[in-house]
Amino acid sequence: MAVIPRIAVHVFKESVRDKVLYNLVLFAVLLIVASYLIGQLTAGQEVKIIKDLGLGATQVFGLFIAVFIGIGLVSKEVERRSIYSLLAKPVRRHELILGKYAGLVLTLAVNIAVMAVALYAVLGYMSWVETEEFRQSWEAPATDPAMLLAVFLVFTQLMLVTAIALFFSTFSSPILSAVLTFGLYVVGHFNADLRNFENVVDSPTAAYLARALYYVLPNLAPFDIRAEVVHAQPVTLGYVALTTGYAAAYIGALLLGAMFIFSRRDFK
C-alpha cells in the first residue's frame, strides 16, 4: 500500500514543477491590492468584501486546479504513452487511480491551506489597524474562526469535483472531461430546483425523473456556506458532518467507478 502515497507525492511534486502553486502568489496579490482599493471605494464593508473575495477566490482557484489537473491525471499518461512504463512497474491500476487522486487532493489541500493563512493574515491586519469601536460594528470578527468551516467545505467540494474530473479522465479525452466536469459543476449548483419539480408539473413520471436526477447528480450547493459565515449566521457541525458524509460517499462511488473502468481499459 506504500505505492499509493508514493504516487500521491509524485503528483504533488509534478504540480509544483508545473508551477501550479504560482496561483498562490496571484491570490496574495489579489487580496492585498483588493484590500487597499476596497478601502478607498467602500464605507465600512471592507472586511465583508475581503471575506467574500477571499473565500470566492479560494473556490475559483481551487476549481481550476481540480478540473484542469484532474482531467489530465490519467489521460495525460495515456496520451504520452507513459502509461505503459507505469503499468510495467509493480503498480496496480487501482493504485494508480487512488494515488493520482490523493496527490491532487494533497495539492489542493496545500493550496487552500496557504490561501486560508493569507486570507486570515490580511483580515488580521485590517482588524489590527481599525479602532475597537469600528470593530464592534462588524457582523463577525475579522478573523472569525467560523470561516474555517467555509474553507473546509470548499475543500470538500473540490475533492468531489476532483473525483468527477478523474472519473471522466479514465475513459474520455481531456477536453471532453473538462466540458463534462464543468457541466456537472454548473448543474450541481442548480439541481436543488429539481427537488420541487412536482410543484410545477402534473406528470408523476416527470416528477419522479426530476427527483431521481436530484439525488443522482452531485448537489454542490450545500457546500457553499460562505454567505452564512460572512454574515455570522450559525452553521452547525451536524450540517457540516452530513455534507462531508455526502461528499465522502459520492467520492467513493466515483473512485470505485473510475477504478472499475480503468481496470478494464485496453491500452493496445
Q: Which residues bind another protein (CB under 8 A)?
A: 87-94, 189-190, 192-193, 195-197, 199-200, 215-216, 219, 221-222, 236, 238-239, 242-243, 245-246, 249-250, 252-253, 256-257, 259-260, 263-264
State in angstroms the smallest separation of the CB of 252 from another protein: 5
State in angstroms the smallest separation of the CB of 246 from another protein: 4
DSSP assignment of 41-56, as one string? H-SS-HHHHHHHHHHH
Q: How far is CA 101 from the centre of its chain?
A: 13
Give helix then strand counts, H and E, for the chain. Answer: 13, 0
Beta carbon nearer to another protein, 136 or 236: 236
Beta carbon nearer to another protein, 35 or 243: 243
State in angstroms the smallest separation of the CB of 249 from another protein: 4
State in angstroms the smallest separation of the CB of 185 from another protein: 14
Beta carbon nearer to another protein, 29 or 249: 249
State in angstroms the smallest separation of the CB of 84 from another protein: 10
DSSP 8-state code for residue 130: S
State in angstroms the smallest separation of the CB of 76 from another protein: 19
DSSP assignment of 81-119, as one string? THHHHHHHSS--HHHHHHHHHHHHHHHHHHHHHHHHHHH
DSSP assignment of 195-250, as one string? HTGGGT---HHHHHHHHHHHHHS---GGG--HHHHHTT----HHHHHHHHHHHHHH
Angle between helix axes 22-41 and 93-129 (nearest 10 degrees) is 30
State in angstroms the smallest separation of the CB of 42 from another protein: 19
The answer to whether residues 58 and 112 touch, using CB atoms and an 8 Å cutoff, is: yes
Distance in angstroms (rounded) separating the CA atoms of residues 238 and 84: 46
Closest CA to 122 of 147, 142, 108: 142
Beta carbon nearer to another protein, 151 or 247: 247
C-alpha cell at 168: 471522466
Beta carbon nearer to another protein, 25 or 86: 86
Distance in angstroms (rounded) separating the CA atoms of residues 111 and 160: 16
Beta carbon nearer to another protein, 143 or 244: 244
Beta carbon nearer to another protein, 44 or 238: 238
